[in-house]
């Protein structure tokens, strides 16, 4: 089942060549003046697979979000410094039914340029920060899980220009072993 889901994601994931000049030009336009390189949102020295990338047709249609495959309880780190503006950690439930959409646990961090990073599907009571807390890039902010609309344990990460995330996300580059890169589905990336 897990293999099937991964293959399904591979088939549906964006085929865009994310390091192409075309994509990078588009990303620069979409990001506007929100230029920043993000840390991978997990512990330095650990690596995770991207199972679903930008604009994937499975559940990121039109959204620039990344799903990192992650065992429940994995430490989630702030990809960028900011202030916590949203925390939900009450639910233990998750699955792929419509009834789970928008019900998962998450943390949202507001950055100095007024963009917002969203960390979703955390485990129950898995937020290690509270609204109003300042967080540093690389600080542990939560524990991953599979709550809300989630087929298997993973972290959904997305940066948006408005707190209401619908259709305001934009692509962001991450610091990888090979420098700042836009992440591609079905590749494994090690946090620096």
Dihedrals phi, psi of 31, to nearest 5 degrees: -75, -25
Residue 64 has a CB neighbour count (10 Å cut-off) of 21
Report the residue number, 67 or 107, with the smaller CB distance to Zn ion: 67
Residue 109 in tokens? 């961090």
The least CB distance from residue 187 to Zn ion, in Å, is: 16
- Which residues are the active-site residues? 154
The least CB distance from residue 156 to Zn ion, in Å, is: 3
Report the residue number, 39 or 152, with the smaller CB distance to Zn ion: 152
Provide DSSP, 118-156. Answer: EEEEEPTT-B-S-TT-EE-TT-EEEE-B--EE-SSSEEE
Contact status, residue 94 vs residue 149, Cβ threshold 8 Å: yes
Rounded Cα gap, residues 174 and 53, in angstroms: 13
Number of residues engaging Zn ion in binding (CB under 5 A): 3
- Residues constituting the chain: 192
Q: Is the torsion defined by CA of 137, 140, 141, 145 positive or negative? A: positive
The least CB distance from residue 129 to Zn ion, in Å, is: 21
Report the residue number, 39 or 157, with the smaller CB distance to Zn ion: 157
| Residue 23 three-state SS | helix
Report the residue number, 83 or 86, with the smaller CB distance to Zn ion: 86
The 49-88 site mask, x for binding Zn ion (CB under 5 A), equals: ----------------x-x---------------------
Q: Is 156 among the residues that bind Zn ion (CB under 5 A)?
A: yes
The least CB distance from residue 19 to Zn ion, in Å, is: 21
Residue 145 in tokens? 């899980």
The 119-138 site mask, x for binding Zn ion (CB under 5 A), equals: --------------------
**Binding positions for Zn ion, rule: CB under 5 A:** 65, 67, 156
């Amino acid at each position: 089942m897990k293999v099937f889901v991964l293959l399904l994601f591979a088939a549906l994931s964006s085929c865009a060549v994310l390091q192409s000049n075309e994509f990078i030009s588009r990303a620069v336009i979409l990001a506007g003046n929100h230029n920043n390189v993000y840390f991978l949102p997990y512990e330095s020295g650990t690596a995770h697979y991207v199972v679903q990338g930008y604009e994937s047709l499975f559940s990121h249609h039109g959204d620039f979000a990344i799903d990192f495959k992650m065992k429940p309880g994995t430490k989630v780190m702030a990809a960028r410094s900011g202030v916590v503006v949203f925390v939900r950690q009450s639910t233990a439930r998750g699955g792929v039914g419509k009834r789970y959409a928008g019900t998962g646990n998450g943390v949202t961090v507001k950055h100095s340029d007024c963009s917002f990073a969203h960390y979703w599907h955390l485990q129950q009571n898995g937020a290690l920060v509270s609204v109003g807390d300042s967080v540093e890039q690389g600080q542990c902010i939560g524990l991953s899980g599979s709550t809300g609309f989630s087929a298997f344990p993973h972290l959904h990460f997305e940066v948006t220009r408005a707190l209401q995330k619908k259709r305001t996300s934009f692509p962001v580059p991450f610091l990888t072993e090979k420098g700042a890169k836009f992440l591609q589905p079905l590749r494994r990336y090690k946090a620096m």
